[in-house]
């Protein structure tokens, strides 16, 4: 099988992993000490595909042979897709060739599980080691690790990689039991915690001496599949919040399960709308940067996010007594809760109002949508009376008509995600 065909099969098998970030690692470059490559703080997206996702890293599987049978996954042993396997050398060469032409920031490598977790992990680590040691590669490396692999191998992975991830895939033990019987939620969390400790250790050591070895400086991330089981948004968000606060994860990705070739049983017939995934990302954002907690967004009484409205607007409409907020006096915390105000806008307003009193025209210059914010704020020249907060139609004004929602819904069923 030639390399083009292998690349087609093994990229196709990798595409259900949403993560493609190349950000948040240490800065390094190839000016001193030779080698190839550099990293920037924010990462670079080198291209975009028509699914709206960016191409930052060469995202491939080492092999899509897998002895596991995770039902949501296109690579599971019982799936009838064509199989291929790269050699370590082939992956190294592809990465370097693409990198030199400025197609990519680096490599995101994962693999189906062949022979044994350790055997597989050893191959993945060998690619990283060859790139770093033999070729002086300084670009970005993201390695998917296998929770069952030995600690020594995970440690070596962390030494070469910028980011390490283990996909949780499903938010509860029961869901995992149902769709990925060979995976073990407790085991995954133990592995995540071991990685967290290593990262912490390395940060502490490096604060003392910059020569101390790095360990996955861009942290660890994970992914959960949305809509393959009955799990609610409240469950997903609670899980994510737990992972951020207790396991120190840098990023949680949500992936609406989407049709895969040769999909399996037990998956719902209809794919969830991409909109649900989008709402989860918005809510995740509110957790991380807007000081919201999970219960404010979704709880047992309202277990799912409102598909029609973004979660902040939806929260505001449920807490009308907190509004209107006076833009010239309110605290940062209060301003952050105004639908239509982002972090940057809020910080600019706080700075500007030390010099003069804010009017609507000022908001326009900051590119704020007046239509969204006006019911919720007071400025020198505006008090919301016309569009009163008590107005029952307020929600209707924001919610798009029902058909429009369908535009976000892809046809079809099923899901997948490698390793």
Partner 1 sequence: MPAFSFDGTFADWKRAARRALAESCPPQAARWTNARAGQVELELAESPAPYGWESEPPARVRVPRAFLTLAQEAACHSDPTRWDLLYRMLWRLGHGEPHLLEVTVDADVTALRALAKAVHRDVHKMHAFVRFREIPTAAGSWFVSWFEPRHHIVEAAAPFFVKRFAAMRWSILTPERCAHWDGRTLTFAAGATRDAAPPEDAAEDLWRAYYASIFNPARLKVATMASQMPRHYWANLPEARLIPDLIASAQPRTETMVETSDRHRERDSDFGTASVPGSRDLSVLRSAAATCRSCPLWRNASCTVFGEGGPGARVVVVGEQPGDQEDRAGRPFVGPAGQLFDRALQAAGIDRAQLYVTNAVKHFKWEPRGKRRLHQKPNAREIAACRPWLAAELQAIQPDVIVCLGGTAARSVLQSSVRVLETRGRWHPTDFGAPALITVHPSSLLRLPPGEDPKAAFDQFVADLRRVSARMMGFAQGEGGALIRDDI
Site for partner 1 in 52-71 (CB under 8 A): 52-55, 58-59, 67-69
**Minimum distance from residue 147 beta carbon to ligand SF4 (Å):** 10
Match 């997903």 to its residue by tokens.
Answer: 236
Residues in region 27-56 near partner 1 by CB under 8 A: 29-31, 34-38, 40, 44-55
Q: What is the DSSP string of 21-45?
A: ---SS--B-SSSS--B--B-SS---
- Does 180 participate in binding partner 1 (rule CB under 8 A)? no
Which of the listed partners (ligand SF4, partner 1, none) does 372 bind, with a CB threshold of 5 to 8 Å by partner kind? Answer: none
Taking the least distance from each CB to partner 1, the nearer of 8 and 200 is: 8
Helix (H) / strand (E) element for 60: namely strand 57-61
- Does 126 participate in binding partner 1 (rule CB under 8 A)? no
- Does 187 participate in binding partner 1 (rule CB under 8 A)? no
Q: Which two tokens stand for residue 96?
A: 């370097």
C-alpha to C-alpha distance for 288 and 111, rounded to whole angstroms: 30
Which of the listed partners (ligand SF4, partner 1, none) does 221 bind, with a CB threshold of 5 to 8 Å by partner kind? Answer: none
Q: Which two tokens stand for residue 112?
A: 């189906």
**Minimum distance from residue 388 beta carbon to partner 1 (Å):** 27
CA neighbours within 13 Å on the CB side: how many for 204? Answer: 6
Taking the least distance from each CB to partner 1, the nearer of 115 and 293 is: 115
**Minimum distance from residue 17 beta carbon to partner 1 (Å):** 10
C-alpha to C-alpha distance for 54 and 16, rounded to whole angstroms: 13
**Minimum distance from residue 30 beta carbon to partner 1 (Å):** 4
Taking the least distance from each CB to ligand SF4, the nearer of 180 and 368 is: 180
Which of the listed partners (partner 1, ligand SF4, none) does 126 bind, with a CB threshold of 5 to 8 Å by partner kind? Answer: none
- Does 98 participate in binding partner 1 (rule CB under 8 A)? yes
Taking the least distance from each CB to ligand SF4, the nearer of 70 and 297 is: 70
Q: Which string of b and e fits 148-186 if b means at least 16 CB within 10 Å?
A: bbeeebbebbbbbbbbbbbbbbbbbeebbeebbeebbbe
- Does 100 participate in binding partner 1 (rule CB under 8 A)? yes
| E strands, 75-194, in order | 106-110, 140-144, 163-165
- Does 110 participate in binding partner 1 (rule CB under 8 A)? no
**Minimum distance from residue 24 beta carbon to ligand SF4 (Å):** 25
Residues in region 323-382 near partner 1 by CB under 8 A: 348-349, 351-352, 354-356, 358, 362-363, 365-366
**Minimum distance from residue 38 beta carbon to partner 1 (Å):** 4
**Minimum distance from residue 166 beta carbon to ligand SF4 (Å):** 11
Match 């993201």 to its residue by tokens.
Answer: 142
| E strands, 139-184, in order | 140-144, 163-165
- Does 157 participate in binding partner 1 (rule CB under 8 A)? no
Which residues on adjacent β-strands are paired with residue 326? 378
CB 277 within 8 A of CB 411: no
C-alpha to C-alpha distance for 167 and 252, rounded to whole angstroms: 9
Q: Which residues bind ligand SF4 (CB under 6 A)?
A: 66, 68, 70, 73, 75-76, 112-113, 417-419
C-alpha to C-alpha distance for 311 and 351, rounded to whole angstroms: 27
């Amino acid at each position: 099988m030639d390399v083009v065909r292998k690349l087609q099969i093994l990229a196709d098998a990798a595409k259900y992993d949403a993560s493609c970030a190349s950000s948040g690692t240490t800065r390094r470059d190839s000016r001193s000490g030779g080698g190839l490559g550099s990293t920037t703080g924010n990462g670079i997206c080198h291209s975009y595909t028509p699914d709206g996702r960016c191409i930052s890293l060469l995202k491939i599987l080492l092999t899509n042979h897998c002895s596991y049978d995770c039902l949501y996954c296109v690579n599971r042993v019982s799936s009838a897709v064509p199989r291929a396997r790269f050699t370590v050398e082939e992956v190294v060469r592809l990465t370097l060739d693409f990198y030199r032409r400025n197609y990519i920031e680096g490599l995101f490598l994962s693999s189906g599980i062949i022979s044994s977790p350790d055997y597989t992990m050893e191959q993945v680590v060998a690619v990283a080691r060859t790139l770093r040691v033999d070729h002086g590669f300084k670009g970005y490396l993201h390695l998917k690790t296998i929770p069952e692999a030995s600690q020594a191998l995970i440690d070596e992975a962390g030494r070469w990689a910028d980011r390490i991830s283990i996909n949780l895939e499903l938010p509860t033990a029961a869901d995992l039991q149902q769709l990925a019987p060979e995976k073990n939620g407790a085991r995954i969390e133990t592995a995540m915690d071991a990685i967290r400790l290593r990262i912490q250790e390395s940060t502490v050591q490096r604060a003392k001496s910059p020569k101390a070895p790095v360990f996955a400086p861009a942290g660890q991330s994970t992914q959960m599949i949305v809509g393959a089981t009955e799990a609610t948004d409240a469950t997903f968000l609670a899980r994510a919040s737990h992972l951020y606060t207790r396991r120190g994860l840098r990023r949680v990705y949500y992936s609406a399960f989407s049709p895969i070739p040769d999909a399996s049983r037990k998956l719902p017939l209809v794919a969830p709308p991409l909109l649900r995934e989008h709402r989860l990302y918005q809510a995740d954002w509110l957790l991380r940067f807007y000081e919201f907690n999970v219960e404010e967004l979704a709880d047992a009484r309202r277990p799912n996010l409102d598909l029609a409205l973004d979660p902040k607007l939806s929260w505001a409409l449920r807490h009308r007594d907190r509004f209107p907020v006076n833009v010239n006096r309110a605290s940062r915390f209060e301003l952050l809760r105004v639908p239509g105000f982002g972090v940057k806008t809020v910080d600019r307003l706080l700075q500007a109002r030390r010099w003069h009193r804010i009017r609507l025209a000022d908001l326009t210059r900051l590119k704020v949508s007046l239509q969204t914010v006006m019911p919720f704020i007071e400025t020198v020249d505006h008090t919301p009376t016309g569009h009163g907060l008590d107005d029952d139609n307020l929600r209707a004004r924001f919610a798009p008509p029902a058909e429009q929602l369908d535009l976000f819904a892809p046809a079809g069923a099923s899901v997948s995600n490698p390793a």
